Structure 1
Amino acid sequence: MIWSPHRVETRNWQPSRRQGSRADRTLDHIDVSIPPMISRTQCDLSGSVALAHEEAIIAVVRLESGFGKHLAPLSDFLLRSESVASSKIEHIDAGWRAFGKAFAGGKSNAEAQSQLAAVHALAAMVDAASVGPITGDNITTAHRLLMAPDFYTARNSGTVRDVQNWIGGSDYTPIDALYVPPPPEIVPELMADLLAFANRTDVPILVQAAIAHAQFESIHPFTDGNGRIGRALISAILRRRGLTERVTVPLASVMLANTDRYFDRLTAYRAGDADEFVEYVAHAATVSSYAAQDSAQALAELPEYWRAIARPRANSADAAIIDALLDTPILNADTASRITGTTDASTYRALARLTEAGLLEVLTASKRNQIWAATAVLAELDALSLTIGKRSLPQQSVQPKDGSLR
């Protein structure tokens, strides 16, 4: 593809407060990066990029058709996996036990609340994209959900920035920054152009998703949360174009496996090499889709494994909980009682037996307001991320023993 590089402009700089080093305090001009307008750009593929795009489409379709339509719990599982991995790229990692407590409404730390907020933000983006075009309101709503757990960031959430931001360098000024996004006064125009591109129907799907993500990160429209919202935009475009109907492709795990490579590809995009970033995202979609098929198979086999271990009586509370664990891997006593339809005492005994058998783990230290988790389901979140990381060889296809593309 022929793609325009970002241009660099020098702008005056007036710090709001005199802080930092002498260089910070005396800085009077900065170089900002101005992304090109992309809404009408041609996106013709050829060579290795076209092949990578085709392989990715096949991989996503196989995941969707093979498991998305037949294993309902996979939808929530993959959405959580993508959100958690996207948060980890931003160095937010609570661990699945803390995340489980937050998910069930228990007391949890700030990182767990932030990861849960990322799940809500991604779900909002994907759900909105399934019923209509992607709008600025969709993006700002998702941003408000993402920032909600933090009182200070929540106050400025849901609106595009009106200040200059930057990546890396000093805490006080853009001096020595790795990247300085466009000035705030042109962000609304750039976002309108990006949304026009994201809603086109004449662009190859993964090209559209990759370019929209790279452009969003270049615009950096918010003061915080740009990475997670930008990665959610990829999933939203796949849903809007109909490539996915239920599953969320967990490609953030590829980015997490080698963040340097991910950021290098974004830098190449800003230099005008859109092909390289498209090929990178296509490869990520291929690797993560096939790894997700393995996780789907592992999840599908769990109920039979659980029944073999616990040996529940037919129509018992134990059996009812086991049958619901894939759909509800994290539960409190109220949720368990609704599942069993029995007395609280009977439900607690069932939970105790399943915990003793190793199917469940108690996530809370207190005897009050306990939360249980199906350890095998939550552990599979980590297993999927690790599998994707091992398979994330740069621009290579992994061939399984049966010869099909993996």
Structure 2
Amino acid sequence: MRAEPFIPDPLPPLDIDWIRHIPLIGSANAALARFDGLLRSIQNPDLLLTPLITQEAVISSRIEGTQATMRDLLIFEAGKSAVSNEKRQDIREVMNYQKALSHAQEQMMTGHLSWDLILSLHEILLDGVRGSSFGGSVRSIQNYIGPIGAPIEKATYIPPPPDLLPEMIHNWEDYLLGPEKDVLVQLAVLKGQFEIIHPFCDGNGRIGRMIVPLFLMEKNLLSYPSFYISAYFDRTREEYYNRLLHISQSGDLNGWISYFLYAIRDQAFINITRSSQIVALYDEMKNIIPQVIRSQYSIAVIDTLFQRPIVSSSDFIEISQIPPESGKRILLKLRDAGIIEIIQEGKGRNPSIYQFAKLVQIVENETSL
């Protein structure tokens, strides 16, 4: 017997167990406030948090099946071709995620989170990759979630039919713009309802995770849209999917809300630790690098390494805007001092590729710290 599409109740939900969630609401909001306090203390978050935003793009894309790592992406950007067309496609998906986040950040500085913005993010996300023909548009077909290649009869979840989507999206956006007793619970509901509606043919999970930092910025809980939640969902992937599925299977919205509040709280502490490590490393380099290179270009050197922790010699010179001969001498001094290491020797017209290993190690560390 074929399963039927699930039709969720309209928002706002009427069965939130507020008493149950009070302890987690308090601890999650407190952890998030501490993280935002750190963000406000960072003078140049666009620079220092770029590697973490890159890793968020990598992990969120990995949840959906891509195999590209942060190292793959950085080496590709440094000029080394991906080993296969499949890997190149995966890297393109991650790069699109980065572009979408950058576009969102720019738009949020003067505008607001809205369905129109979400559609523009979706278009950027799917540009030139799988599902690109559906980019920026709500689905007009019935989709479903299930084993790869399985028919709809074997689906684990069938979202609402496309003719109901306009009304559901309008209801979702009304709830987005309206008040709720607690912003984090409101975000949990929005995230869960978005996944249930499944408004796109592809990219629903990535867009849904992208909404998290944007909504927190919209509601003034973050001063910068840089809450990296995908790592928690990836570490607890089975529970992540099960909690979402139980909303439709047994109406357990409160179980999802609890899980989401845990995610915010625990990931906030990890984000604090990792961001603090990056800031401390930057301060360390401000003391060390001027002594090593003895150059007027010290700040340009440091900023370039934090912007591109894996970089080719030619890109290093272009990004830092240091004269070529000076740039080459500086790279040699940094390498001799052990600050950077060469991971690919230059050959012919291909420049050498260097790695700022300390920063890469901080960002690639996906443990709970």
Partner of 2:367: 386
User: Does 211-220 or 97-106 show the bigger shift?
Assistant: 97-106
Which of 224, 227, 234 is the aligned partner of 1:246?
224
Unaligned runs of 5+ in 2: 83-87
The 8 Å contact of residues 130 and 239 in structure 1, kept in 2 or not, is answered as: no
- The whole-number CA distance in structure 2 between the counterparts of 1:373 and 1:134 is 37
Partner of 1:394: none
1:325 correspondence with 2:298: no
1:96 correspondence with 2:70: yes
Partner of 2:92: 113
1:196 correspondence with 2:185: no
Partner of 1:283: 262
**Quick check: which one's helix share is greater?**
2
1:345 correspondence with 2:325: yes
1:235 correspondence with 2:235: no
Q: What TM-score, normalized by structure 2, do the two folds share?
A: 0.86
1:56-97 deviations in whole A, cap 9, x for unaligned?
111111111124432523443432232222112113231222
Aligned ranges for residues 365-380 of structure 1 at < 5 Å? Answer: 367=347, 368=350, 370-380=352-362
- Give the deviation of 1:266 after TM superposition: 0.6
Counterpart AA for 2:357: T
- The whole-number CA distance in structure 2 between the counterparts of 1:154 and 1:377 is 34
- Give the deviation of 1:129 after TM superposition: 4.0
Aligned ranges for residues 5-404 of structure 1 at < 5 Å? Answer: 30-38=3-11, 40-41=12-13, 46-71=18-43, 72=45, 73-103=47-77, 107-108=81-82, 109-150=88-129, 152-169=130-147, 171=149, 173-270=151-248, 271-306=250-285, 307-308=287-288, 311-317=291-297, 320-333=300-313, 335-337=315-317, 340-362=320-342, 367=347, 368=350, 370-383=352-365, 385-387=366-368
Counterpart AA for 1:208: Q
Q: Using a 3 Å threshold, how does the CA distance of structure 1 residues 297 and 356 change in structure 2: closer, same or farther?
A: same
Partner of 1:11: none
- The whole-number CA distance in structure 2 between the counterparts of 1:97 and 1:78 is 13
Q: Using a 3 Å threshold, how does the CA distance of structure 1 residues 334 and 201 change in structure 2: closer, same or farther?
A: farther
Q: Percent identity?
A: 24
1:91-130 deviations in whole A, cap 9, x for unaligned?
3231222111344576442222211211222333344345
Counterpart AA for 2:169: M
Counterpart AA for 2:367: L
1:108-158 deviations in whole A, cap 9, x for unaligned?
4222221121122233334434533322221111111111241x5212211
- Give the deviation of 1:45 after TM superposition: 5.4
- The whole-number CA distance in structure 1 between the counterparts of 2:223 and 2:203 is 26
Partner of 1:9: none
Q: Using a 3 Å threshold, how does the CA distance of structure 1 residues 61 and 81 change in structure 2: closer, same or farther?
A: farther
Q: Secondary structure at the match of 1:33?
A: coil
Unaligned runs of 5+ in 1: 1-26, 389-406
- Give the deviation of 1:284 after TM superposition: 0.9
The 8 Å contact of residues 54 and 70 in structure 2, kept in 1 or not, is answered as: no
Counterpart AA for 2:53: L
Q: Using a 3 Å threshold, how does the CA distance of structure 1 residues 173 and 339 change in structure 2: closer, same or farther?
A: closer
Counterpart AA for 2:167: E
Q: What TM-score, normalized by structure 1, do the two folds share?
A: 0.79
- Give the deviation of 1:191 after TM superposition: 1.4
Q: Secondary structure at the match of 1:175?
A: helix
After superposition, the CA RMSD in angstroms is 2.7
- The whole-number CA distance in structure 2 between the counterparts of 1:235 and 1:43 is 25
